[in-house]
Amino acid sequence: MSADPRLRVAVITDVHGNLQALEAVLAEVDARGPWERMIGGGDFCLNGPEPSAAFDLMAERADALLMGNTDRDIVDGGANDPDLGDKKRASIAWTREAIGPERIERLANLTFEDRIEAPDGRVLLVVHANSRDIDRHILPDMPDEELAALLGDVHADVLVFGHLHIPFERRLGELRLFNVASCGSPRDGDRRAVWGEFNWRPDIGWQGAIRRVAYDYGTTVLRILDSGMPHREKRIRDLLRATYD
């Protein structure tokens, strides 16, 4: 073991086909490196203008790629989406055509979680939405009893996730939770892209931070307009408002 033993993990989730946001985040990740592990937390393609390029770049850079709900929806055409409507059905169809069968096959083989155990046994667990499934949100103001029922028995010290595009930190007993979404489509009123930095040291254990990165979202707007993707006005509005309203 070296004189400064540590683990460094970067987590990027919910890119949603926004190549400009992903490139900006990766530039900051590189500047803050090196890293022992980089994890893509799911939802790589749907609702963005450059799904193929964004997925390919994430696949090239990440050590692990996790399954998100929209990745599943692309694979199965939305058959298992509990809230599938006409707008999402159209977006799924356009994205499937844009990324082609080879990428769809790769999405079908993504994993549910990535677990990093430090030398002292303390575990950092990364998932897309929660520790049980890829659909139910962890909310920042969810009562502890509801959160405990959702998570079940989590064998980890830190749980990192996305899905809900509102970054936050909270605790449930000794478990620390970090929502590090969204790289490509934040919804907390801040347009800057989001990612998560996690470091383990033997003297302090796991420490985490939510990072924000400014990027050229104007170019993303132009790419949306030029893409031919459905519901372009809504996608631009969501990007610029950066809220769920």
pLDDT at 83: 84
pLDDT, tens digit, 9 for 90 and up, residues 26-40:
999 999 999 999 999
Flag whether pLDDT at 56 surpasses 50. Answer: yes
Residue 1 has pLDDT above 90, yes or no: no
Phi, then psi, of 31 in degrees rounded to 5: -65, -30
How confident is residue 4, by pLDDT bands cut at 50, 70 and 90?
low
Architecture of domain 7-241: 4-Layer Sandwich (3.60)
Please compute the mean of the pLDDT values over residues 165-170 and round it to a whole number. Answer: 98
| Residue closest to 126 by CA, chosen among 15, 37, 238, 11 | 11
pTM above 0.95, yes or no: yes
- List the chain domain ranges: 7-241
Two tokens, residue 4: 């400064």
Rounded to the nearest integer, the mean pLDDT of the chain is 96
Query: What are 121-139's pLDDT values in tens digits?
Result: 999 999 999 999 999 999 9
* Category of 173 on φ-ψ map: left (φ > 0), alpha (ψ -120 to 50) or beta: left
pLDDT of residue 6: 86
Residue 55: what are its φ and ψ, rounded to 5°? -65, -45
Work out the average pLDDT over 91-111: 98
Say whether pLDDT at 41 is over 70.
yes
- pLDDT of 16 reads 98
pLDDT band, very low/low/confident/very high, at 82 (cuts 50, 70, 90): confident
- Report the distance separating Cα 151 and Cα 132, nearest Å: 6
3 — pLDDT class (breaks 50, 70, 90):
very low
pLDDT by residue (tens digit) across 197-226?
A: 999 999 999 999 999 999 999 999 999 999
Are the C-beta atoms of residues 215 and 21 closer than 8 Å to each other?
A: yes
Cβ-Cβ contacts under 8 Å for 161 (sequence gap 6 or more): 13, 41, 126, 127, 128, 129, 130, 138, 177, 178, 179, 180, 181
